Protein backbone atom coordinates (compact mmCIF):
# COMPACT_ATOMS: atom_id res chain seq x y z
CA UNK A 1 0.00 0.00 0.00
CA UNK A 2 1.82 3.11 -1.27
CA UNK A 3 -0.22 5.28 1.01
CA UNK A 4 1.53 4.56 4.34
CA UNK A 5 5.15 5.64 4.08
CA UNK A 6 4.72 8.44 1.57
CA UNK A 7 2.06 10.14 3.64
CA UNK A 8 4.02 9.69 6.87
CA UNK A 9 7.18 10.99 5.26
CA UNK A 10 6.08 14.03 3.35
CA UNK A 11 2.54 15.18 4.10
CA UNK A 12 2.13 17.87 6.71
CA UNK A 13 -1.65 18.14 6.45
CA UNK A 14 -2.92 17.02 9.84
CA UNK A 15 -6.46 16.07 8.83
CA UNK A 16 -5.35 14.09 5.82
CA UNK A 17 -2.68 12.22 7.74
CA UNK A 18 -5.00 11.17 10.52
CA UNK A 19 -7.67 9.78 8.25
CA UNK A 20 -5.73 8.17 5.44
CA UNK A 21 -3.40 6.26 7.72
CA UNK A 22 -6.30 4.57 9.51
CA UNK A 23 -6.02 1.35 7.52
CA UNK A 24 -2.30 0.83 8.05
CA UNK A 25 -1.65 1.52 11.71
CA UNK A 26 -1.43 -0.84 14.67
CA UNK A 27 -2.32 -0.36 18.32
CA UNK A 28 0.36 -2.81 19.48
CA UNK A 29 3.15 -4.44 17.46
CA UNK A 30 3.89 -7.92 18.93
CA UNK A 31 7.31 -8.02 17.28
CA UNK A 32 8.35 -5.15 19.56
CA UNK A 33 6.37 -5.56 22.81
CA UNK A 34 4.08 -8.06 24.48
CA UNK A 35 0.54 -7.43 23.24
CA UNK A 36 -2.93 -8.66 24.16
CA UNK A 37 -4.11 -11.70 22.23
CA UNK A 38 -5.90 -11.00 18.96
CA UNK A 39 -9.63 -11.55 18.82
CA UNK A 40 -9.99 -14.45 16.41
CA UNK A 41 -12.69 -15.69 14.07
CA UNK A 42 -13.96 -18.84 15.83
CA UNK A 43 -15.69 -20.24 12.74
CA UNK A 44 -14.27 -21.52 9.48
CA UNK A 45 -16.59 -19.30 7.40
CA UNK A 46 -17.95 -15.79 7.71
CA UNK A 47 -19.94 -13.67 5.27
CA UNK A 48 -21.79 -10.38 5.16
CA UNK A 49 -24.12 -9.17 2.41
CA UNK A 50 -24.16 -5.38 2.74
CA UNK A 51 -27.10 -5.12 0.32
CA UNK A 52 -29.46 -6.95 2.69
CA UNK A 53 -28.82 -5.20 6.00
CA UNK A 54 -29.85 -1.82 7.38
CA UNK A 55 -27.02 -1.22 9.88
CA UNK A 56 -23.37 -2.15 10.08
CA UNK A 57 -22.74 -5.49 11.84
CA UNK A 58 -21.32 -5.29 15.36
CA UNK A 59 -18.21 -7.22 14.31
CA UNK A 60 -17.12 -4.33 12.08
CA UNK A 61 -15.46 -1.14 13.32
CA UNK A 62 -16.01 2.21 11.62
CA UNK A 63 -13.17 4.75 11.73
CA UNK A 64 -13.63 7.89 13.80
CA UNK A 65 -15.43 10.70 11.95
CA UNK A 66 -16.24 8.34 9.06
CA UNK A 67 -19.59 7.52 7.56
CA UNK A 68 -20.51 4.43 5.56
CA UNK A 69 -24.09 4.18 4.31
CA UNK A 70 -25.87 1.00 3.26
CA UNK A 71 -27.98 0.86 0.09
CA UNK A 72 -29.13 -1.37 -2.75
CA UNK A 73 -25.55 -1.66 -4.04
CA UNK A 74 -24.08 -2.43 -0.62
CA UNK A 75 -21.78 -0.48 1.68
CA UNK A 76 -21.05 3.00 0.30
CA UNK A 77 -17.62 4.57 0.85
CA UNK A 78 -17.88 8.15 -0.38
CA UNK A 79 -15.46 11.02 -0.94
CA UNK A 80 -17.67 14.12 -0.89
CA UNK A 81 -15.29 16.71 0.59
CA UNK A 82 -11.62 17.20 1.36
CA UNK A 83 -10.16 14.79 3.95
CA UNK A 84 -12.99 12.28 3.60
CA UNK A 85 -11.48 8.81 4.08
CA UNK A 86 -14.20 6.37 5.16
CA UNK A 87 -12.72 3.15 6.53
CA UNK A 88 -14.32 0.01 7.96
CA UNK A 89 -12.57 -3.07 9.35
CA UNK A 90 -13.32 -6.32 11.13
CA UNK A 91 -12.84 -6.43 14.90
CA UNK A 92 -11.68 -10.03 14.51
CA UNK A 93 -8.77 -11.51 12.61
CA UNK A 94 -8.46 -14.70 10.61
CA UNK A 95 -5.42 -16.88 10.05
CA UNK A 96 -4.85 -18.15 6.50
CA UNK A 97 -7.70 -18.99 4.16
CA UNK A 98 -9.61 -17.10 1.48
CA UNK A 99 -11.36 -13.74 1.25
CA UNK A 100 -13.78 -12.69 -1.49
CA UNK A 101 -14.88 -9.09 -2.09
CA UNK A 102 -17.63 -8.10 -4.53
CA UNK A 103 -16.76 -4.48 -5.30
CA UNK A 104 -17.32 -1.58 -7.67
CA UNK A 105 -14.49 0.94 -7.26
CA UNK A 106 -14.94 4.70 -6.97
CA UNK A 107 -14.25 7.01 -9.95
CA UNK A 108 -12.40 10.30 -9.64
CA UNK A 109 -8.83 11.43 -10.31
CA UNK A 110 -6.68 10.70 -7.28
CA UNK A 111 -9.35 8.68 -5.46
CA UNK A 112 -8.12 5.31 -4.15
CA UNK A 113 -10.49 2.45 -3.34
CA UNK A 114 -8.93 -0.37 -1.35
CA UNK A 115 -9.43 -3.77 0.21
CA UNK A 116 -6.65 -4.58 2.65
CA UNK A 117 -5.60 -7.42 4.94
CA UNK A 118 -3.54 -6.11 7.84
CA UNK A 119 -1.97 -7.69 10.93
CA UNK A 120 -0.82 -6.26 14.26
CA UNK A 121 2.82 -6.53 13.16
CA UNK A 122 2.02 -4.76 9.86
CA UNK A 123 1.94 -7.65 7.46
CA UNK A 124 -0.25 -6.39 4.64
CA UNK A 125 -1.96 -7.56 1.45
CA UNK A 126 -3.66 -5.06 -0.89
CA UNK A 127 -6.12 -4.57 -3.68
CA UNK A 128 -6.10 -0.89 -4.74
CA UNK A 129 -7.94 0.98 -7.49
CA UNK A 130 -7.09 4.41 -8.84
CA UNK A 131 -10.25 6.31 -9.76
CA UNK A 132 -8.83 7.64 -13.01
CA UNK A 133 -7.57 4.26 -14.22
CA UNK A 134 -10.38 2.28 -15.85
CA UNK A 135 -8.52 -0.81 -17.11
CA UNK A 136 -6.62 -2.31 -14.18
CA UNK A 137 -6.24 -2.74 -10.43
CA UNK A 138 -3.08 -2.79 -8.32
CA UNK A 139 -1.97 -5.67 -6.09
CA UNK A 140 0.67 -5.34 -3.39
CA UNK A 141 2.08 -6.86 -0.22
CA UNK A 142 4.31 -5.80 2.67
CA UNK A 143 5.88 -7.65 5.57
CA UNK A 144 6.33 -6.22 9.06
CA UNK A 145 5.81 -2.68 7.74
CA UNK A 146 8.81 -2.76 5.38
CA UNK A 147 8.06 -1.14 2.04
CA UNK A 148 11.31 -1.94 0.23
CA UNK A 149 11.71 0.18 -2.88
CA UNK A 150 8.01 0.04 -3.83
CA UNK A 151 8.79 -2.62 -6.44
CA UNK A 152 6.24 -5.23 -5.35
CA UNK A 153 3.12 -3.90 -7.04
CA UNK A 154 1.49 -5.44 -10.11
CA UNK A 155 -1.37 -4.06 -12.23
CA UNK A 156 -3.56 -6.84 -13.65
CA UNK A 157 -6.23 -5.97 -16.18
CA UNK A 158 -9.88 -5.73 -15.14
CA UNK A 159 -12.81 -4.47 -17.23
CA UNK A 160 -14.38 -1.18 -16.11
CA UNK A 161 -13.82 -1.55 -12.35
CA UNK A 162 -15.57 1.80 -11.63
CA UNK A 163 -18.80 0.84 -13.45
CA UNK A 164 -18.98 -2.94 -13.00
CA UNK A 165 -18.95 -5.20 -9.96
CA UNK A 166 -16.26 -7.87 -9.92
CA UNK A 167 -15.26 -10.54 -7.40
CA UNK A 168 -11.74 -9.97 -6.10
CA UNK A 169 -10.31 -12.83 -4.04
CA UNK A 170 -7.21 -13.62 -2.01
CA UNK A 171 -6.15 -17.19 -1.32
CA UNK A 172 -3.63 -17.12 1.51
CA UNK A 173 -1.64 -20.04 2.92
CA UNK A 174 1.76 -20.48 4.61
CA UNK A 175 3.28 -21.25 1.22
CA UNK A 176 1.59 -18.95 -1.29
CA UNK A 177 -0.67 -15.94 -1.80
CA UNK A 178 -2.91 -15.80 -4.87
CA UNK A 179 -4.87 -12.76 -6.11
CA UNK A 180 -7.77 -13.57 -8.47
CA UNK A 181 -10.48 -11.66 -10.34
CA UNK A 182 -13.79 -13.34 -11.16
CA UNK A 183 -12.25 -16.74 -10.53
CA UNK A 184 -9.10 -16.23 -12.62
CA UNK A 185 -5.72 -16.01 -10.88
CA UNK A 186 -3.87 -12.81 -11.81
CA UNK A 187 -0.91 -13.03 -9.45
CA UNK A 188 0.80 -15.68 -7.33
CA UNK A 189 3.40 -14.91 -4.66
CA UNK A 190 5.25 -17.92 -3.30
CA UNK A 191 6.33 -17.40 0.29
CA UNK A 192 9.91 -18.32 -0.53
CA UNK A 193 10.02 -15.60 -3.21
CA UNK A 194 8.95 -12.74 -0.93
CA UNK A 195 11.54 -10.10 -0.07
CA UNK A 196 13.96 -10.78 2.77
CA UNK A 197 14.40 -14.42 1.70
CA UNK A 198 10.75 -14.98 2.46
CA UNK A 199 10.72 -13.19 5.82
CA UNK A 200 8.48 -10.42 4.48
CA UNK A 201 5.80 -12.83 3.33
CA UNK A 202 2.50 -11.85 5.05
CA UNK A 203 1.92 -14.61 7.61
CA UNK A 204 0.30 -13.38 10.83
CA UNK A 205 -3.44 -13.13 11.69
CA UNK A 206 -5.15 -10.45 9.62
CA UNK A 207 -8.13 -8.15 9.91
CA UNK A 208 -10.08 -7.18 6.79
CA UNK A 209 -10.20 -3.46 6.04
CA UNK A 210 -12.22 -1.60 3.43
CA UNK A 211 -11.63 2.06 2.62
CA UNK A 212 -11.34 5.00 0.30
CA UNK A 213 -8.92 7.94 0.42
CA UNK A 214 -7.60 10.80 -1.70
CA UNK A 215 -4.08 10.40 -3.06
CA UNK A 216 -4.64 13.48 -5.25
CA UNK A 217 -5.13 15.98 -2.43
CA UNK A 218 -3.63 19.36 -3.47
CA UNK A 219 -1.01 19.09 -0.70
CA UNK A 220 -0.22 15.38 -1.13
CA UNK A 221 3.04 14.01 -2.50
CA UNK A 222 1.09 10.99 -3.79
CA UNK A 223 -0.51 12.94 -6.66
CA UNK A 224 1.76 11.38 -9.30
CA UNK A 225 0.97 7.85 -8.20
CA UNK A 226 -2.71 8.68 -7.76
CA UNK A 227 -3.09 10.01 -11.29
CA UNK A 228 -3.26 13.75 -10.69
CA UNK A 229 -4.84 16.40 -8.49
CA UNK A 230 -8.35 15.79 -7.20
CA UNK A 231 -10.63 18.82 -7.71
CA UNK A 232 -11.54 20.35 -4.34
CA UNK A 233 -14.42 20.46 -3.82
CA UNK A 234 -15.08 17.40 -6.01
CA UNK A 235 -17.60 17.98 -8.83
CA UNK A 236 -19.64 15.05 -7.49
CA UNK A 237 -19.37 12.50 -4.67
CA UNK A 238 -17.05 9.61 -5.56
CA UNK A 239 -18.28 6.29 -4.13
CA UNK A 240 -16.90 2.77 -3.83
CA UNK A 241 -19.59 0.10 -3.39
CA UNK A 242 -18.94 -3.16 -1.54
CA UNK A 243 -21.73 -5.68 -2.03
CA UNK A 244 -20.32 -8.47 0.10
CA UNK A 245 -17.35 -9.98 1.91
CA UNK A 246 -16.80 -13.71 2.45
CA UNK A 247 -14.03 -15.18 4.61
CA UNK A 248 -12.93 -18.81 4.73
CA UNK A 249 -10.75 -19.22 7.82
CA UNK A 250 -8.21 -22.07 7.81
CA UNK A 251 -7.56 -21.81 11.55
CA UNK A 252 -10.68 -20.91 13.56
CA UNK A 253 -10.00 -19.79 17.14
CA UNK A 254 -11.39 -17.46 19.77
CA UNK A 255 -7.97 -15.85 20.08
CA UNK A 256 -4.58 -15.84 18.37
CA UNK A 257 -1.50 -15.50 20.56
CA UNK A 258 1.98 -14.40 19.50
CA UNK A 259 4.32 -16.63 21.53
CA UNK A 260 7.48 -14.70 20.64
CA UNK A 261 8.54 -11.58 18.72
CA UNK A 262 9.51 -13.30 15.47
CA UNK A 263 6.26 -12.58 13.61
CA UNK A 264 6.51 -16.07 12.09
CA UNK A 265 3.28 -17.96 11.46
CA UNK A 266 4.83 -20.91 13.28
CA UNK A 267 4.88 -18.89 16.51
CA UNK A 268 1.13 -18.20 16.51
CA UNK A 269 -0.87 -20.21 19.06
CA UNK A 270 -4.58 -20.90 18.58
CA UNK A 271 -6.65 -20.47 21.72
CA UNK A 272 -9.85 -22.47 21.36
CA UNK A 273 -12.73 -22.95 23.78
CA UNK A 274 -14.72 -26.16 23.31
CA UNK A 275 -18.15 -26.43 24.93
CA UNK A 276 -19.57 -29.93 25.30
CA UNK A 277 -22.77 -31.23 26.88
CA UNK A 278 -23.01 -34.57 28.67
CA UNK A 279 -25.05 -36.00 25.80
CA UNK A 280 -22.32 -35.01 23.36
CA UNK A 281 -19.42 -35.95 25.59
CA UNK A 282 -18.41 -39.21 23.91
CA UNK A 283 -18.74 -37.80 20.41
CA UNK A 284 -17.30 -34.47 21.49
CA UNK A 285 -14.11 -35.89 22.93
CA UNK A 286 -13.57 -37.95 19.81
CA UNK A 287 -14.08 -34.89 17.64
CA UNK A 288 -11.84 -32.81 19.90
CA UNK A 289 -8.99 -35.25 19.41
CA UNK A 290 -9.41 -34.88 15.65
CA UNK A 291 -9.43 -31.09 15.91
CA UNK A 292 -6.30 -31.10 18.04
CA UNK A 293 -4.58 -33.46 15.64
CA UNK A 294 -5.45 -31.31 12.65
CA UNK A 295 -4.20 -28.13 14.33
CA UNK A 296 -1.01 -29.80 15.52
CA UNK A 297 -0.26 -30.84 11.98
CA UNK A 298 -0.37 -27.18 10.98
CA UNK A 299 0.99 -25.38 14.02
CA UNK A 300 1.80 -27.71 16.88
CA UNK A 301 -0.06 -25.34 19.21
CA UNK A 302 -3.58 -25.45 20.63
CA UNK A 303 -5.23 -24.72 23.96
CA UNK A 304 -8.72 -26.13 24.54
CA UNK A 305 -10.76 -25.47 27.66
CA UNK A 306 -13.64 -27.93 28.17
CA UNK A 307 -16.84 -26.66 29.75
CA UNK A 308 -18.99 -29.69 30.38
CA UNK A 309 -22.60 -28.96 31.25
CA UNK A 310 -24.23 -31.18 33.87
Arithmetic mean of pLDDT, 86-104: 98
pLDDT band with cut points at 50, 70 and 90 for residue 23: low
Arithmetic mean of pLDDT, 220-237: 94
Arithmetic mean of pLDDT, 157-178: 98
What percent of the chain shows pLDDT beyond 70?
80
Among residues 214, 171, 174, the alpha carbon closest in space to that of 194 is found at 174
Please state which of the ranges 114-118, 163-167, 231-235 shows the lowest mean pLDDT. 231-235
Is the pLDDT reported for residue 123 higher than 60? Answer: yes
Among residues 58, 60, 77, 61, the alpha carbon closest in space to that of 69 is found at 77
Is the pLDDT reported for residue 198 higher than 60? Answer: yes
Is the pLDDT reported for residue 304 higher than 80? Answer: no
**Given 76, 100, 128, 236, the catalytic residue:** 128
Model confidence pLDDT, tens digit, residues 30-46: 999 999 999 999 999 99
Model confidence pLDDT, tens digit, residues 137-162: 999 999 998 887 678 999 999 999 99
Please list the residues that pair with 47 across neighbouring strands.
246
CB atoms within 10 A of CB 196: 11
Mean pLDDT, the chain, rounded, equals 85
Arithmetic mean of pLDDT, 278-299: 43
The question of whether 124 is a catalytic residue gets the answer: yes
The question of whether 128 is a catalytic residue gets the answer: yes
Could you give the CA distance from residue 206 to residue 87 in angstroms, rounded to a whole number?
16
Torsion angle of the four alpha carbons 84, 90, 91, 92, in this order, in degrees rounded to the nearest 10? -160
**Given 100, 124, 236, 282, the catalytic residue:** 124
For position 276, what pLDDT does the model report? Answer: 52
Cβ-count burial 217-227 (b if 16+ within 10 Å, e if not): beebebbebbb
Amino acid sequence: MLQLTLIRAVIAVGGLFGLTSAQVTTDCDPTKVTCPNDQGLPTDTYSVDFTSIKSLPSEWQLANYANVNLGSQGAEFTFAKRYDAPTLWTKFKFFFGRVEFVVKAAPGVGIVSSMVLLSDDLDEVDWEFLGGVTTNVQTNYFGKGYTGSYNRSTSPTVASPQTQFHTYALDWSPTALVWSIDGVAVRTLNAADADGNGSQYPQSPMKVSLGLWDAGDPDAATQGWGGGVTPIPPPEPYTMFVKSVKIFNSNPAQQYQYTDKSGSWKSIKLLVTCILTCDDLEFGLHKLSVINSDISNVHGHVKCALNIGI
